Amino acid sequence: MNQNAVIDIAMQALLLAAKLSAPMLITSLVVGFAISVFQSITQIQEVTLSFVPKAIAVAVALLVCGHWMISESVGFTNGLFALLPKLLNGG
């Protein structure tokens, strides 16, 4: 296994991690921004107000995107298993 193969696998793994975390992070960002605008308009400065809606929104995003996330993870893992003999033989 050479350095290029290791760097390529690491890059694919990092891209997969970014793709899998994006739906939850973007959902949390949008809901947090909406709640912060609501808090600034109404001048309600309660820290715990944003936690429950964010948690519910992230859970919904996980339910909606869960199948896609699992299929992406399985596809990446299958690709690694298919690449394993080539990497072990040095080819």
Average pLDDT, the chain: 91
Distances in Å between the alpha carbon of 86 and those of 16, 73, 80? 22, 21, 10
pLDDT computed for residue 16 by the predictor: 97
Nearest-angstrom CA–CA distance, 9 and 57: 32
Q: The domain containing residue 68 runs over which residues?
A: 3-88
Whether the predicted model's global pTM rises above the 0.85 cut: no
List, for residues 38-50, the tens digit of each pLDDT value.
Answer: 988 988 878 778 8
Split into its structural domains, the chain has a count of: 1
Instruction: Give the contacts of 86 (CB within 8 A, at least 6 positions apart).
Output: none
